[in-house]
Amino acid sequence: MTAETSRYADFENLQRQALTLRREGLSLRQIRDRLKVYNNDLLHRLVKGEPPPEWTKRPNAKDDLRDRARELRTRGWTYDQIQVELGCSKSSISLWVRDLPKPERKRTPEEASEIARRGWEATLRRREEERQAVKRTAAAEIGAMSERELFLLGVGLYWAEGTKDKPHARRERTVFVNSDPGMIRVYTAWLDLLGVEPERRKYCVMIHETSDAGEAERFWGDLVGVDPSAFGKTTVKRHDPRTNRKNVSAGYRGCLAIRILGSADLYRRIEGAWYGIVGAATAPDLKNRT
């Protein structure tokens, strides 16, 4: 027997065994392990023509949508119509029905464009609902916050957004600037926790010259519970015509700067606490974290 005849005989023998195992309901992986055939190409050739057992077919969460999309396509529906009806993406529809014949065009380009617009709006609404649902769930998971948690959060918040001392320029003073009302509310709650008296807190608004500085001062004053007349002089940023500003919406109110008088000791406490957080977060014995 020649080498070529031997190889052919070995393949036929393997194929008979593989087909027998396949008909007994074994998966490709089980056949591979049973016959010690680790070449995927050869393994597929051995069972070619023999359908896989039902138990190996994984259910697809989108099977119903796909079947419905195919049904609508055979009735002459366009991708846009199917998208509006099912609320799924055009890319998925295309994948599901690409082997089916195209329906005859029965509407004007304007009508088709309107249908596409409605389909996209439906998709955007669905995405927004999913986005908001995730946010609501995450917010609900926070629950009540302990004083320690607020303290640690405030230290991190300040170290990210507050002014910091530099070796080449000693500035041990506490100044926090931000445009997010939520950040300001958390920061002022943190100052309350630390016992920083209201009379030591000095405020001023920093805003672009094309915005309403008076309205911004009133907004920030209401937020922190201080009459705007007590604010320091507003810092106005001049407009550079070469730039394309993005912060031009009705909700833009500039930034609020909060400076604490006599705050060198407070700054040192913040810096020390931050280094303590860094050390704790990078400690090798993570099991002892509380």
Of 141, 172, 195, which marks where a domain is finished?
141
pLDDT attached to residue 59: 55
Of 125, 141, 157, which marks where a domain is finished?
141
Same domain for 278 and 239, yes or no, is: yes
pLDDT attached to residue 257: 95
Query: Does residue 38 sit in helix, strand or coil?
Result: coil
Same domain for 263 and 186, yes or no, is: yes
Angstrom distance (rounded) from CA 150 to CA 153: 5
DSSP label at residue 169? B
| Stronger pLDDT, 132 or 211, i.e. the higher one | 132
Tell me the chain's radius of gyration from C-alpha atoms: 33
| Stronger pLDDT, 82 or 9, i.e. the higher one | 82
Same domain for 75 and 40, yes or no, is: no
pLDDT attached to residue 221: 94
Which of 229, 227, 224 lies closest to 258 in space, CA to CA? Answer: 224
Angstrom distance (rounded) from CA 269 to CA 279: 15
Query: Does residue 57 sit in helix, strand or coil?
Result: coil
Same domain for 124 and 208, yes or no, is: no
Q: Any idea which residue has 């991190």 for tokens?
A: 156
* For helices 90-97 and 79-86, angle between their N-to-C axes, nearest 10 degrees: 120
DSSP label at residue 251? T
Angstrom distance (rounded) from CA 98 to CA 89: 14
Q: Any idea which residue has 């999309």 for tokens?
A: 69
Same domain for 90 and 216, yes or no, is: no
Question: Is pLDDT above 80 for 13?
Answer: yes
Give the other-Cβ count within 10 Å of 81's Cβ. 21
Question: Is pLDDT above 70 for 70?
Answer: yes
| Stronger pLDDT, 241 or 160, i.e. the higher one | 160
Q: Which of 10-19, 38-47, 241-250, 256-265 has the lowest mean pLDDT?
A: 241-250
Which of 142, 150, 165, 193 lies closest to 275 in space, CA to CA? Answer: 165
Same domain for 256 and 170, yes or no, is: yes
**Residue 105 structure tokens:** 């065009």
Question: Is pLDDT above 90 for 90?
Answer: no
pLDDT attached to residue 155: 96
Same domain for 23 and 85, yes or no, is: no
pLDDT attached to residue 5: 47
Greatest extent of the chain over all pairs of C-alpha atoms, in Å: 105
Same domain for 32 and 112, yes or no, is: no
Tell me the pLDDT tens digit for each residue of 201-227: 999 999 988 888 899 999 999 999 999
Sheet of 201-208: strand order equals 174-178, 255-260, 201-208, 235-237
pLDDT band at 288 (very low <50, low <70, confident <90, very high): low
Same domain for 121 and 211, yes or no, is: no
Of 95, 114, 141, which marks where a domain is finished?
141
pLDDT attached to residue 119: 76
Share the mean pLDDT of the chain.
Answer: 85
CA dihedral 156, 160, 161, 165 (to 10 degrees): 100
DSSP label at residue 201? E
Same domain for 124 and 26, yes or no, is: no
The structural domain count of the chain equals 3
Q: Identify whether the C-beta of residue 209 lies closer than 8 Å to the C-beta of residue 239.
A: yes
Contacts of residue 222, Cβ cutoff 8 Å, sequence gap at least 6: none
| Stronger pLDDT, 254 or 285, i.e. the higher one | 254
Same domain for 161 and 284, yes or no, is: yes
Tell me the pLDDT tens digit for each residue of 249-276: 677 899 999 999 999 999 999 999 999 9
Rounded (5°) CA angle 128-130-135: 95
Domain extent, residue 122, equals 63-141
pLDDT band at 126 (very low <50, low <70, confident <90, very high): confident
Q: Identify whether the C-beta of residue 258 lies closer than 8 Å to the C-beta of residue 184.
A: yes
